[in-house]
Amino acid sequence: MQIEDIVAKFSTGIFVWYNFKENAAILYLYSINKDKEIESFLKNKGNVTLCNIKKGNENIDDVKKFDYIVGVDVLEESESPVELLTFCRNHLKDDGRLLLGTENRLGIKYFCGDRDPYTNHSFDGIEDYRRITAADKKDIGGRCYSRAELNDMLCMAGFCNDKVYSVMPNLKEAQLIYADDYTPVEDLAIRYFPFYNYPDSVFLDERFMYKDLADNDLFHTMANSYFIECSPDGKFDETMHVTLSLDRGEENALVTGIYEHDGIRGVYKKAVYSEGMKKLYEMQDNLDELRRRGISVVQSKIENDKFVMPYVDKPVALVALREIAKKDKEAFFDALNDLYELILSSSEHTDIVNEKDRNSANGKDMGVILSKGYIDMVALNCFYDETIEEPKKRFIFYDQEFYFENCPAKAIFYRSVSVIYDGADMEFERLIPRKEVLERFDLAELEELWQRISYRFTSELRNEKELQLYKQERTCDARVIYSNREKINYSASDYQEIFVDIFKGLDDKTKVGNNKKLVLFGSGNFTKRFLNEFAGCYDIFSIIDNNRSKWGTMMDNVPVNSPDVLRDIDSDELHLIICIKKYYGVVKQLKEMGISKYHIYDPSNEYPNKRREIAQKRAAGMIAENSGNTGTDGENEKKPYNIGYIAGVFDLFHIGHLNMFKRAKEQCNYLIVGVVSDEGVRLNKQAEPFVPFEERIEMVRSCRYVDEAVKLPLNFCGTQDMYKVYHFDVQFSGSDYEHDAYWIAQKEFLEEHGSTMVFFPYTQSTSSTKLKKAINAKIKEYGLYEE
């Protein structure tokens, strides 16, 4: 299935779980344009009649009755919703069902800053569109309603019996669906991925709000969307909760449902597509294998093309372990150790290691390697029954769909630790720091490797690479949320001074004896990003941190000291920039030290950069220098781009590299080349470069076509990171990436920011890979190869 097909079928998620009876008569209501995927899905369920609500109902026989009448967003876009519902009531059989998908104007995403889908403004729906004039209402095309308003309209049309399901994140991309008498028992911060109409305006992360909403009986009232089932005879679908995974493609897309029949709850899984039946049998085989190895699993079987199992009324281990940690630290470690031992016993051990993982480990011990690594043996996919006497039996596993061959056990255990800490509150982190867990279970040294193995699994399963461009347009980056929230907390002038003008006065040469000392507060990721973004731009006097273990160390040749060094710097000389995300405690600390002037670095903000300014000045100089050059037509030669950029390893420098630089320089005035470090090659290529970095960058720098060669920082070396530094007009890349989803997404980003990406064909006869193979072959031929 092509990625376009996967995305197109997202809209069917609102219906794929519902139990339609066979050969039904279905009336499909739509407004303006019908959804072809929904229409196709419904045609597989019965005989479909189409009805455009904008054009009236003249094509519907007055006495025609339907088993199902379905529609999405039709109430919002109807000029008279009650009249439309009355029409539906008149054309529905006595045992028929009206199925409607509607948006909720009081949805939590709108309180988080998302804009109304019809007005394109924030908070309009929350205010019941009171700022929208009568004239404007005719132009916006529709409006959303609240739960109470929907209930009133249904009752006025004669629908007195309905069952309402809350849909997350919306009707077009349904992931989670809950009946109105059921609320989440799992941690949605882990399982749920919000989508927005306008991600750039969001300032709160809704994932962390759902527990409080549920505890205060607001979960359904503030749901983003609703699926409404209206039943004249008072009978309803037995489904209580649904989890959908349509982003996984044909083989892995499943519906997981919880239902209740005659007071007894059960759980089922069914394949969305026929190709997915194989996955159900594989999951059953995996659970059977784990059971044979003495591991507790939920009883299950395949029945009527469904994977079925009983409903287990026990907490998910993720929740239980967090509660244990708050009561007894050592009991928490004991439970984690039990979980780790279960992972170790889940499969035979082997000496075979994935070559890429071995290269990434760089000779370090990866611990036990499992012949079958059940990558979902984590605290999110098992229950915890504290009433069971034997501790290891308390973990009861389910949903074991996948395994990796020759997988390090620590990689699976690391996933479980990450699940426990991701989304946990700050109090939990304070009680038992994540770092302490990683060190106790010997996970810290190879943490990047465990992260990569985990990401490899999730990215392949969820088609992350292929869906990157789509998600980039629909999801909200954590840095955007952070930045938007800070803007709300300050007046416009204070925000400008504290967050935007962070370098103001640092280079003020108009002041005699300007001896400003630049100090960065923090030594974490924000500081690393700052150092990479402004490398070489400023002399940094010191980095300070409250973590005693970091005092006396160095970061990029800058000393890390105690905050006490601030007491020795005159207030007029101090230029302090806080590089910490959660900076509130630091601000309080500074005030207690008598320091009131400071700035805060926000990675989402755009700051002036000396490296960018130098590149632009050099490019301008080259334009002036070459202004007399003429092309073949006698006119002054003008290149299409000003500043160009290329990134690569450039190992075993060859004619293909030279050709690329030459072609790039022909199209731009100033060419910057980013060279991947040795660490970056090991991390991203899982290989050792033939030529060390210092030699590679010197060869690149010596090329006549290259104007500037720079070392790419290990963790901030992507297109977007480097664009932020240089604002180049074009990035050049090899044509083998032209149709790659990741590179398409990067090109989209550049074009949104006024830049672009140009793909060059590689020199087919020569490549670093071919040269390496030839060298290795010669080494092996002459007996110098070490096995």
Q: DSSP string covering 390-403, please?
A: SGGGGEEE------
Tens-place pLDDT, residues 610-634 = 999 999 999 999 888 877 665 544 4
Q: Which of 412, 413, 434 is CA-nearest to residue 423?
A: 434
Tens-place pLDDT, residues 345-358 = 999 999 999 888 88
Here the tokens at position 390 are 């034997």
Tell me which of 142-151, 246-255, 683-692 is least confident.
683-692
Cis peptide preceding 199, ω within 30 of 0: no
pLDDT score of 767:
54
| DSSP characters over 79-112 | S-HHHHHHHHHHTEEEEEEEEEEEEBTT-HHHHT
In degrees and rounded to multiples of 5, residue 301 shows phi and psi of -160, 165
Q: Which of 368, 326, 369, 372 is CA-nearest to residue 347?
A: 372
Which run of H or of E encompasses 203?
A: none
- β-bridge partners, 167: 177, 225
C-alpha 322/C-alpha 45 separation (Å) is 45
The residue whose two tokens read 């066979």 is: 22
C-alpha 531/C-alpha 544 separation (Å) is 14
Handedness of CA 308, 309, 313, 315 (dihedral sign): negative
In the chain, the domains with their CATH numbers are 3-191+202-244 (3.40.50), 250-476 (1.10.510), 480-600 (3.40.50.720), 610-772 (3.40.50.620)
pLDDT score of 137:
76
**Is residue 775's pLDDT more than 60?**
no
pLDDT score of 400:
94
| DSSP characters over 676-726 | E-HHHHHHHHSS--SS-HHHHHHHHHHSTT-SEEEEEPSSS-SHHHHHHHH
Tens-place pLDDT, residues 163-217 = 999 999 999 999 999 999 999 877 788 789 999 999 999 999 999 999 899 999 9
Tens-place pLDDT, residues 381-430 = 999 999 999 999 999 999 999 999 999 999 999 999 999 998 788 888 88
The rounded percent of the chain whose pLDDT value lies above 70 is: 94
Burial 111-127 (b: 16+ CB within 10 A, else e): bbbbbbbbbebbebbee
In degrees and rounded to multiples of 5, residue 530 shows phi and psi of -60, -45
pLDDT score of 468:
83
Q: Are 297 and 291 in contact (CB under 8 A)?
A: yes
Tens-place pLDDT, residues 632-659 = 444 457 899 999 999 999 988 888 899 9
pLDDT score of 134:
78
C-alpha 728/C-alpha 783 separation (Å) is 48
pLDDT score of 765:
55
Residue range 756-777: average pLDDT? 65
Which run of H or of E encompasses 458?
A: helix 447-461
- Comparison of pLDDT for 623 and 115, the residue scoring more: 115
Give Cβ neighbours of residue 621 (< 8 Å, ≥ 6 apart). none
Q: How far is CA 625 from CA 472, 619, 764, in A?
A: 41, 10, 35
Q: Are 571 and 547 in contact (CB under 8 A)?
A: no
Residue 189 DSSP class? H
Q: Are 129 and 143 in contact (CB under 8 A)?
A: yes
* Amino acid of residue 359: N
Residue range 773-781: average pLDDT? 53
Q: How far is CA 358 from CA 354, 566, 742, in A?
A: 6, 45, 26
pLDDT score of 350:
96
Q: How far is CA 361 from CA 369, 413, 446, 530, 770, in A?
A: 13, 17, 7, 28, 25
- Comparison of pLDDT for 573 and 359, the residue scoring more: 573
pLDDT score of 459:
85
pLDDT score of 742:
81
pLDDT score of 630:
56
The residue whose two tokens read 């160009």 is: 644
Residue range 269-283: average pLDDT? 95
pLDDT score of 764:
54
pLDDT score of 273:
94
- β-bridge partners, 300: none
Rg (CA), the chain: 30
For the chain, give the number of residues: 787
Here the tokens at position 648 are 């690569």
C-alpha 154/C-alpha 161 separation (Å) is 9
Tens-place pLDDT, residues 476-518 = 988 899 899 999 999 999 999 999 999 998 875 444 445 899 9
Tens-place pLDDT, residues 62-114 = 778 999 999 999 999 999 999 999 999 999 999 999 999 999 999 999 999 99
Tens-place pLDDT, residues 695-715 = 999 999 999 999 999 999 888
Residue 523: strand, helix, or coil: coil
Report pTM: 0.84
Provide the pLDDT confidence category of residue 682 given band limits of 50, 70 and 90. Answer: confident
C-alpha 175/C-alpha 311 separation (Å) is 20
Q: Which of 593, 587, 455, 603 is CA-nearest to residue 524?
A: 603
Q: For residue 772, how many other CB atoms are within 10 A of its CB?
A: 15
User: Across all residues in the chain, what is the average pLDDT?
Assistant: 90
pLDDT score of 773:
59
Which run of H or of E encompasses 674?
A: strand 668-676
Residue 724's Cβ-count burial label (10 Å; 0-12, 13-18, 19+) is buried
